[in-house]
Amino acid sequence: MEYLLIFILQLIGVGFHVMQKIILLGDKHPDKNRSQVFSAFLYEDWDTLVVSSLVVATHLIAHYIVENYTDLSLTSEKYILWSFGIALILGYAGQRLAYKFLGSAENFLDKKVNDKLK
């Protein structure tokens, strides 16, 4: 059950950043409706979501290793609470970093608008 909670918290963290970008892109391009902006984001920035998925998987694997293969004091009762917090932060920060280095939806929408204006 704790792995499901970690996964859900990571997805919420990724969702926070994705929705932040979609809202900013929508505000920047008011001629596009939200579904067009969302589609453009998914089409152009699928690679950022893949990287975020790898961050999610890495954290789940690391949690499993620490929990099952170590006798560190980290595996105390409070370790799981730390892991929940880390999951939310890693979800958001992982997506933020992936978007920073790989994000292209903003450029894609800008190019479409500029092409229409010409």
Q: Using CA atoms of 71, 76, 78, 81 in order, give the dihedral in degrees to the nearest 10.
A: 50
Token pair for 83: 């892991």
Q: Is the dihedral of CA 93, 95, 99, 102 positive or negative?
A: positive
- H/E stretch holding 1: none
Q: What is the pLDDT, as a whole number, of residue 27? A: 86
Share of the chain above pLDDT 70, in %: 81
CA distances from 88 to 5, 16, 39 (A): 10, 10, 25
Q: Distance between CA atoms of 9 and 60, rounded to whole angstroms?
A: 11
Q: What is the pLDDT, as a whole number, of residue 56? A: 86
Q: What is the pTM of this model?
A: 0.70
Q: Distance between CA atoms of 20 and 84, rounded to whole angstroms?
A: 22
The pLDDT tens digits for 10-35 are 888 888 888 888 888 888 888 888 88
Rounded to an integer, the average pLDDT of 43-51 is 81
Q: What is the pLDDT, as a whole number, of residue 117? A: 43
The pLDDT tens digits for 73-109 are 655 667 777 778 888 887 888 777 777 777 666 666 6
Rounded to an integer, the average pLDDT of 46-68 is 85
